[in-house]
Amino acid sequence: MITGATAGFGEACARLFAKAGWRLIITGRRLERLQNLQAELGGSKQTCISCFDISDRQATEQAFAELPVEFKQIDVLVNNAGLALGLEPAYATDPEDWERMVDTNIKGLMRCSRLVLPGMQSRDSGYIINIGSVAGNWPYPGGNVYCASKAFVRQFSLALRADLLGTQIRVTNIEPGNAETEFSMVRFKADEQRADKVYENTVALTAQDIADTIWWLVNTPVHMNVTTMEIMPTQQATGPLAIFRG
Ligand code: NDP
Ligand code: 8X3
């Protein structure tokens, strides 16, 4: 299952796994995109559409309950659906944006994990790959709740591993840096000029880079668990701590 397969990392990942013959459940809110992707990836036998809003608990639980029987056993969950909204300082943000980031990046990811874990536990196998972010490690101005939501993903991933010690179930938190997808168009609410600036005069990561990483991870031997993986473009690095001099 790849959550958020209608764009960016999730879509690239779906293409890569389908090419290798994997059966997939692709999720997202945009049904038409899911339908087009399903058609491209070999139709409904190979690819199952599950269209729901991951921030809605009831819709998420219902979507899992309604999976066709041949897709019910989820071996790998790529917890990818997520978003940033806004880049304003905390005192100037739209409180609704904060709610949506928490409901999507934290609660959505947490619920999908909870829904697949019992099956993985009973089969003593499975892999949960969470898409965190460098933002979970390196706070930046305007990152506020987005950064905090990705810090949750990091800590949740580590704590899951603690719970799963003694099982064959693996958990990895991938923490990408600047990557060119629809992410910035979403963050800046379709302000194309502002979104383009994020990728201007630099070489960002691509969705394919992250898909290739996920592919590598699922093909590592079962005795090996990569806990966290922070991946930045070569043209990105952490900055020094800031000092204000009035
Ligand atoms: P995109 O905007 O290109 O893709 C985001 C995906 O998430 C879409 O398929 C979207 O589907 C889905 N999604 C968002 N909200 C919901 C929702 N409420 N319910 C269901 N699906 C939802 O962004 P990316 O591919 O870049 O982002 C993927 C993940 O990677 C996110 O978690 C993001 O935080 C993280 N990330 C991104 C980085 C970047 O620089 N691009 C860097 C580090 C991490 P739909 O709109 O159809 O619902
Ligand atoms: C996305 C990367 O640096 O825009 O998670 O927060 S960043």
CATH number of the domain bearing residue 34: 3.40.50.720
Q: How many CB atoms lie within 10 A of CB 114?
A: 12
239 belongs to a structural domain: no
Whether 146 is a known active-site residue: answer yes
212 belongs to a structural domain: yes
- CB 50 less than 6 A from any atom of ligand 2: no
125 belongs to a structural domain: yes
Q: Residue 207: which domain range?
A: 8-231
221 belongs to a structural domain: yes
Residue type, 82: G
- Provide the token pair at 11: 């879509």
**DSSP per-residue string spanning 200-215:** TTS--EEHHHHHHHHH
In degrees, rounded to 5, the angle at the alpha carbon of residue 79 between the alpha carbons of residues 122 and 13 is 110
- Pocket residue to mutate for ligand 2, from 178, 188, 232, most atoms within 8 A of Cβ: 178
Check residue 233 and give its pLDDT: 98
128 belongs to a structural domain: yes
89 belongs to a structural domain: yes
245 belongs to a structural domain: no
Cα(77) to ligand 2 centroid in Å equals 22
**DSSP per-residue string spanning 126-156:** EEEEEE--GGGTS--TT-HHHHHHHHHHHHH
**Average pLDDT score over residue span 107-111:** 98
- Percentage, residues of the chain above pLDDT 70: 100
Give how many domains the chain has, as a whole number: 1
- CB 9 less than 6 A from any atom of ligand 1: yes
Summarised one tens digit per residue, pLDDT across range 166-175 is 999 999 999 9
193 belongs to a structural domain: yes
Cα(181) to ligand 1 centroid in Å equals 9
- Provide the token pair at 33: 């995109």
User: Which ipTM was obtained for this model?
Assistant: 0.98
pLDDT interval class at 31 (50, 70, 90): very high
Summarised one tens digit per residue, pLDDT across range 56-106 is 999 999 999 999 999 999 999 999 999 999 999 999 999 999 999 999 999
